[in-house]
Structures are given as structure tokens and as C-alpha cells.
């Protein structure tokens, strides 16, 4: 087994990125993030998939609601729990464009999500390796596996488009050269 710096199984990571179903579901999550961007929300979107079917989706909604817990994952979980027993989450995978934050990672672990696939890392609030490792630290609830890097570039570009868009709305806009879209993204796997 080829192992990366942080202990990830590189072979498994490559397979995950190339899997057609994984790509399809992450595309659906990116569509949700696009909707968030169009609503002036930090563009994060997700879908929950059980037995090949999307059973819940969500997009970030913290600005409109003025509620910092209205993250894409929690919105989707809320809608799933309106329709299903919470035990369905044991056989459900989450596809989310940005690594779940510490709050969401904790909820996902308590609900015993089967696996999490994410696009780009969350260096400020990440709960599945970005800052803390809520998914795998010793604890009462069963740990869950995470696979990062699926359409990572697309997820990052959505976030950059959001910050360029927001800067453009500031009362005294910064000089234009600071607002140009940076399109350079370093590769995750060499
Ligand atoms: Zn969150």
C-alpha cells in the first residue's frame, strides 16, 4: 500500500477520484454550492446518498438566516430526519464540496454516517483532518472514513468566486488587481 504524508492510502484516494458514481454525486453537490453562490452564501453544497439514491441535499444558508448552524450538512440531515429514521444514515454516504467543519463532523459521527467524500480541505474549521480529526479521534461513536480531493479545484474556485464577488460589493472596493480571480491551484496528489 502506497501511503501519503498524512497516512492516506494513495491508491484508494486515486480510485475514489476516478469512480464515476462518486463524480456524479459530487457534481450534484457542486450544483448545490452554485445555488449557494447565487444566493450570496459561502458556496458549500452537499448531497446524502443511500443505495444509489440522493435522499437529502443542502446548501449553506447562514447569511440569509443569520444562523451560524445552518450549514449544508445540517440542513440536509434535518430534511432526512423528517422523512426517515436516523438509522438510515448508517448506510448513507455524504458528498460535500468543502471538508465538514468541526460542528458538522461531530453531528455526522453521532449519526454514524457511513462515509464522507469532500472536495477541498477546510484549513480554518475542518473537522475531518483540516484542523481537528473528529471523524477518527478516540470516542464513543464509531469513526467514519473520509475521502478528500474529489473535484477539489471546482470547490476551491467556487469559494474564490464568492470572495471576489463579496469584495466587489464593499463600499470602497479594493484596487482591481486585488480582485482578480486566482486560477492557480496546486495539485493534491503528485
Ligand atoms: Zn459545518
The one-digit pLDDT tens for each residue of the chain (190 residues) are 344 445 556 787 788 889 999 999 999 999 999 999 999 999 999 999 999 999 999 999 999 999 999 999 999 999 999 999 999 999 999 999 999 999 999 999 999 999 999 999 999 999 999 999 999 999 999 999 999 999 999 999 999 999 998 888 777 655 666 667 777 777 765 4
User: And the C-alpha cell for 93?
Assistant: 454516504
Predicted pLDDT at 1: 39
- Give residue 176 CA to ligand 1 midpoint distance, Å: 32
Cα dist from 143 to 19, 75, 76, 146, whole Å: 23, 22, 20, 10
Instruction: Confirm if 47 and 56 have CB atoms less than 8 A apart.
Output: yes
Global pTM value: 0.86
Long-range contacts of 133-137 (CB under 8 A, 24+ apart): 134/102, 134/105, 134/106, 134/109, 135/105, 135/108, 135/109
- Give residue 146 CA to ligand 1 midpoint distance, Å: 15
Predicted pLDDT at 59: 98
User: And the C-alpha cell for 63?
Assistant: 447569511
Taking a 5 Å cut-off on Cβ, the residues next to ion ligand 1 are 71, 101, 104
Predicted pLDDT at 5: 47
User: And the C-alpha cell for 167?
Assistant: 469584495
- From 100, 152, 96, 150, select the one nearest 126 (Cα to Cα): 100
The active-site residue out of 73, 83, 99, 172 is 73
- Give residue 177 CA to ligand 1 midpoint distance, Å: 32
Burial 40-76 (b: 16+ CB within 10 A, else e): ebbbbbbbbbbeeeebbbbbbbbeeeeeeebbbbbbb
Find all residues with CB under 8 Å of 168, minimum gap 6, and list them: 179
Return the residue matching grid coordinates 480571480.
181
Angle between helices 102-110 and 72-81 (to 10 degrees): 30
- Give residue 89 CA to ligand 1 midpoint distance, Å: 17
Residue 51 appears among annotated catalytic residues: no
- Give residue 97 CA to ligand 1 midpoint distance, Å: 11
Q: How far apart are CA 119 and CA 99, in angstroms?
A: 7
* Tally of CB atoms within 10 A around 159: 19
Instruction: Confirm if 55 and 92 have CB atoms less than 8 A apart.
Output: yes
Amino acid at each position: 500500500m502506497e501511503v501519503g504524508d498524512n497516512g492516506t492510502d494513495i491508491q484508494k484516494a486515486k480510485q475514489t477520484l476516478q469512480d464515476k458514481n462518486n463524480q456524479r454525486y459530487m457534481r450534484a453537490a457542486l450544483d448545490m454550492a452554485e445555488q449557494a453562490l447565487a444566493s450570496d452564501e459561502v458556496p458549500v453544497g452537499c448531497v446524502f446518498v443511500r443505495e444509489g439514491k440522493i435522499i437529502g441535499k443542502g446548501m449553506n444558508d447562514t447569511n440569509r438566516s443569520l444562523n451560524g448552524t445552518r450549514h449544508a450538512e445540517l440542513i440536509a440531515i434535518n430534511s432526512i430526519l423528517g422523512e426517515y429514521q436516523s438509522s438510515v444514515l448508517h448506510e448513507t454516504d455524504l458528498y460535500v464540496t468543502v471538508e465538514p467543519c468541526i460542528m458538522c463532523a461531530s453531528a455526522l459521527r453521532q449519526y454514524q454516517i457511513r462515509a464522507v467524500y469532500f472536495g477541498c480541505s477546510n484549513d480554518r474549521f475542518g473537522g475531518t483532518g483540516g484542523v481537528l480529526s473528529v471523524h477518527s479521534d478516540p470516542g464513543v461513536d464509531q469513526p467514519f472514513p473520509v475521502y478528500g480531493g474529489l473535484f477539489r479545484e471546482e470547490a476551491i474556485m467556487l469559494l474564490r468566486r464568492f470572495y471576489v464577488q463579496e469584495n466587489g460589493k464593499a463600499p470602497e472596493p479594493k484596487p482591481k488587481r486585488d480582485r482578480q480571480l486566482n486560477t492557480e491551484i496546486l495539485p493534491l496528489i503528485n
